[in-house]
Structure 1
Amino acid sequence: MTSPEETLETAEVSPTAVLSGVSACIVVMKTRANFVAASKARYQTAASLTVQMRDRRDGDNAVRVGFTCSKKVGNAVARNRAKRRLREIARLDLPTLAKAGHDYVLIGKKDVTENRDFEALRADFAKALGKLV
């Protein structure tokens, strides 16, 4: 039987453990005021989504992200599916691509965000974010 100290020394770090530690600094925006402020900032459209980016300039280094889909995207099921896909993209890509102290809003597009291939959706997000940064 090994001691707990030996287990900690020999344990390998899984990629998900590293991601969960990094994504802990990402905060989800929920108030309307934050979304309105982000809507007045810079934005970039892609084939399947729109990304808005705002520098908060408040000294807080946390990255905040919000997700929205209008009723034009579809019924509640379609909007929620599109937002789930946007949340997964943010979880995977924002820890490495985002700037500290910025707000990001990901906006789904009608008939595209829900049905587009996931890797193409990720590529659209990276391209739009690259143009903003």
Structure 2
Amino acid sequence: MDRLRQRADFLAVANGARANSPAFVLQSRGRDDFGPIRIGFTVTKKNGNAPERNRIRRRLRELVKRLDPVSMQPHHDYVLVGRRDALSRDFATMLDDLRIAFSKPARHTARGTHKGPPKGRGQRPDATAPASRKPD
């Protein structure tokens, strides 16, 4: 099992399926290649200061180490997004939550499918177009 390190990989997985838990969100995405399972960990700044975020990340890494890799689908990327409840939640409960998250059928959330400008906003004027002038 490898680690996700590149931002582009994290963004690609963010557009895939997700499973929610009180302590984390599991995001997953299937790949077309035959590479190993890759997993990434992230915790946003709204979850506390750096030591708290690092503790959450360490707990998530330990969960994955204790989980049997058979429950993960081959040729997939996974991202565990930590939540603040990961600090106070019982570790055995979190491990059960992770097993359940891997066994759930994936719920796909379609992101980025909207095309065109956001609703309620007009088109920006083209800056390169010459301004029309009235004849003098």
The normalised TM-score by structure 1 is: 0.76
Structure 2 counterparts to residues 1-133 of structure 1, below 5 A:
26-60=1-35, 62-110=36-84, 112-132=85-105
Letter in 2 for 1:65: I
For 1:91 and 1:114, locate their aligned partners in 2 and report how far apart those are by CA, in whole Å.
18
Distance 1:66 1:106 in 2: 6
- Find runs of 4+ consecutive structure 1 residues off by over 4 angstroms: none
User: Separation in 1 of the partners of 2:68 and 2:44?
Assistant: 22
Q: How many residues align?
A: 106
Q: TM-score scaled to structure 2, two decimals?
A: 0.74
Percent identity of equivalent pairs: 36
SS of match in other structure, 1:59: coil
Deviation at 1:94, TM superposition (A): 4.8
Gaps of 5+ in 1: 1-25
Identify unmatched segments of 5+ residues in structure 2.
107-136
Deviation at 1:115, TM superposition (A): 1.5
Q: Which has the larger radius of gyration?
A: 2
